[in-house]
Amino acid sequence: MLHPVILAGGTGSRLWPLSRQLNPKQFLALVDRDQSMLQATLGRLSGVKASDPTIICNDEHRFLAAEQMRQAGCNEARIILEPVGRNTAPAIALAALEATAGGQDPVLLVLAADHLIADVGAFQQQVAVALPRAEQGKLITFGIVPTSPETGYGYIQRGSDAAEGAYEVSRFVEKPDLATAERYVASEEYLWNSGMFMFRASRYLEELGKFRPDILEACRAAMVATAKDMDFVRVDVDAFEACPEDSVDYAVMEQTKDAVVVPLDAGWSDIGSWSSLWSVSDRDAEGNALSGDVIAEETEDTLVRADNRLVATLGVRDLVVVETKDAVLVAHKDKVQNVKKVVERLKSDARHEHINHREVYRPWGIYDSIDNGHRYQVKRITVKPGQKLSLQMHHHRAEHWIVVSGTAKVTNGEKSYLVTENQSTYIPIGQVHTLENPGVINLELIEVQSGSYLGEDDIVRFEDRYGRE
């Protein structure tokens, strides 16, 4: 049986302002408004005989990953937390060590959480083609049948037939210049390197130990003292921080003599930029990909995404316009690869718009910072049924809570009481307090903060069911 391993790290900064450090593209509904990229990756496994997946993600994304697993009905998934990013070779090693811990040796199907595959049937068919070769000990990489001479992808040159529908790997090549890419595509011998793999867990560990024993040793040390934390598997932080950084391509696939490539022609895209999203989106007669409340007049070949308000365009073409609650991007499609420069500018200016959206997800629900000014901030807070904020206090701010809908159970110092719709309560500076939703519907409330400092780091937690410090 296959064991899916979904790599859900990364920040996707080229898709700013939608993708942010704490809410990156794999957790966003980019192509399908009804599901995130991660959930779409899970969905294309439906019909494949496979076990519950292992998700590898950054520690700071753990609650997003867990909530999206829950929404997708995947409650038995294992979520391994990387305390720091060390690229794909160590990430897959953690999953392989976890998969073999009980004496099992499954075939791992390694997928990225942020890829689009339009033809799920073709994808599943090629997974079936690859499986017998992986069971025999080969290390499979899926090569995308190229549709154009792309310079942004690595390529795989296929060799002789290894089995029906699979080929020995002749060589891996780096991202080429345009002339070389054109020659590759014309030869029909080259495939794009997709970053999707299949191999037995033991074979991967064997080859990793042969070519990068330092990585394997560090990952083994990190898995010796794992800790179960709610839905998550925490590895030893010091051991993993000491692990060298390398990709699975460099560490294993380009070194092994048992690499096999299976071609995949399934409408694949890594959605690496706004222009690539435009290219895979449904477009109108003028070539526009429009999402949200948009009026487009005399507009051609343009992507407009409006998440919160009306966006109107007039007399433009080849643009990308993306509107969020706290930022708007307007760029020419030819320049969207440079969105990272905007993100770097935000970082250098010590701004926050690259870190998170105005809406911030927490394990207990969500808050939206709807207004702020000198010495005050207003948030709309939603607490899910049965969930509870940490027992905490603040040194620099007081809080007023006004319940809009639902019922709040409030602990305010030594007192505990209920606050219902149209009622309010006051939390003084320095008062130990918490908030809980004891009901069966969402608790909605308005929080008005006032004080000399309103940063999120002015929280002293005494007790937290979600394991936060």
- Summarised one tens digit per residue, pLDDT across range 288-331 is 999 999 999 999 999 999 999 999 999 999 999 999 999 999 99
Residues 251 and 374 both lie in one domain = no
Measure the CA–CA gap between 282 and 273, rounded to whole angstroms.
Answer: 16
Of the residues 323, 348, 373, which one is the last residue of a structural domain? 348
Please give the DSSP secondary-structure letter assigned to residue 138.
-
Q: Kindly tell me if the per-residue pLDDT of 248 is higher than 80.
A: yes
**Is 225's pLDDT higher than 90?**
no
- Do 410 and 301 lie in a common domain? no
Please check the confidence at residue 96 and state whether its pLDDT lies above 90.
Answer: yes
Residue 469 has pLDDT above 80, yes or no: no
Q: Which amino acid is at 400?
A: H
Structure tokens at 336: 């969207």
Question: What CATH number has the domain bearing residue 365?
Answer: 2.60.120.10
Please report the pLDDT score of residue 115 as a whole number: 95
Domain ranges, residue 373:
359-463
Identify the band that residue 261 occupies on the pLDDT scale cut at 50, 70 and 90: very high
Name the amino acid, one letter, at 184: Y
Same domain, 246 and 127: yes
Least confident piece of the model among 100-104, 224-228, 370-374, 404-408: 224-228
In angstroms, how far is the first alpha carbon of the chain from the final one? 39
Do both 179 and 261 map to the same domain? yes
Does residue 428 contact residue 400 with C-beta atoms inside 8 Å? no
Same structural domain, 134 and 245: yes
217: CATH:
3.90.550.10
* Pair 246, 278 in one domain: no
Answer yes or no: is 323 within a domain.
yes
Domain-embedded: residue 354: no
Q: Do 248 and 383 lie in a common domain?
A: no
Distance CA 468, CA 465 (A): 8
Give the three-state DSSP class for 32.
coil
Are 63 and 180 within one domain? yes
Decide if 469 is inside a domain. no
Domain stop point among 303, 323, 348 = 348
User: What's the number of domains the chain is made of?
Assistant: 3
Residue 113 pLDDT > 90: yes
Q: Is residue 61 part of a domain?
A: yes
| Distant-in-sequence, close-in-space partners of 63: CB < 8 Å, separation ≥ 6 | 361, 362, 363, 466
Answer with the one of 269, 303, 326 that is the final residue of a domain: 269
pLDDT tens for residues 424-436? 999 999 999 999 9
Q: What sign for the dihedral angle of Cα 362, 367, 371, 374?
A: negative
What is d(CA 96, CA 204) in angstroms, rounded to the nearest whole number?
8
Bridge-based pairing state of the strands 319-323 and 289-300: unpaired
* Confidence band, pLDDT 50/70/90 cuts, at residue 30: very high
Question: Is a pLDDT exceeding 90 seen at residue 194?
Answer: yes
Does 211 lie in the same domain as 129? yes
Question: Where residue 119 falls among pLDDT bands split at 50, 70, 90?
Answer: very high
The phi, psi pair for 40, rounded to 5°, reads: -65, -35
Identify whether 468 is part of a domain. no
210 is a domain residue: yes
Q: What would the pLDDT profile of 132-176 be if each residue is shown by its tens digit?
A: 999 999 999 999 999 999 998 999 999 988 777 899 999 999 999
One domain for residues 145 and 239 = yes
Count how many residues are written for the chain: 469
> Domain check: are 339 and 253 in the same one?
no
Examine the domain organization and report whether 186 and 240 are in the same domain: yes
User: Residue 185: which of 166, 207, 157 has the closest Cα?
Assistant: 157
Q: Determine what percent of the chain falls in helix, strand and coil, rounding each to the nearest 5.
A: 25, 40, 35
Give domain status of residue 353, yes or no.
no
